[in-house]
Structure 1
Amino acid sequence: MATVVFVGEMVRAVRHRDEPRILARLVGSFEGYVSGLLVNGAGLGVLGTMEIENDLPVVLMVLLTGWCLSNIGVTAVVFVVVAQSRIRRPEAWAELDFVERHAPKYGRPPETIEEYRALQLQEWTSEA
């Protein structure tokens, strides 16, 4: 499903590859893109096995193989862009991860030092 739903996110990731704040807000999680790679790779393996056994018509085999390959392409591009960004800008990603982990949720006021710091970082990064 990544091909149909996440092509726009792939284009957005490539356009904003040097902006961790935008990459952190992509639809879907980094783990979701990794699992998309794994699931579609496994799907290709299953399709290859079914082709060897001659269990699928050729047209269906071509369509499913194209679908899996396009999913792998979309998820691989997003995976590489986010991974490169995390390697090149670890301090920016550390701040984003800290805010994600510690910012108060559901509109409640901050109660701990970490929550106050996360709110300050969140306000600072939204202004930048």
Structure 2
Amino acid sequence: MIIIEQLKKVKDTRSHINQVYPVMEVAFVVITAMICGQNKWTEIKDFGEGNIEWLREYFPYENGLPTRHNIAAIMRSVVPETLLEAMVGWVNLHREKHAQPIISVDGKVLKGAKANNSTPSIWFRHLM
């Protein structure tokens, strides 16, 4: 799975003593939960508990899932630039694999937003 390779880039600032839950496991459950529309820490925790067998196909989760408070704390300990690098790398690899110059995140395709050297609409510029 492409995202797992990219998650190796994520840097964790916690001391080794406090790493009961590996950052890759936590980041994976957070990202997959958010892709499925779960945006709150409690929803992410519930998603993880409900899908633990599927999650274990990719990571061992030997210590189970952290509490919602620990999920939030672990994600706060991540170096943001490394998470961004992993996410952009994942999207770019997917885009290249499928020969798509643009990924439609919301499922819509924007056509004719900028035509004949005109200025793009304000909505389109927001997406850029």
* TM-score category (smaller protein): under 0.3
The structure whose residues are more often helix, as a share, is: 1
- TM-score, structure 1 normalization: 0.26
Structure of higher CA gyration radius? 1
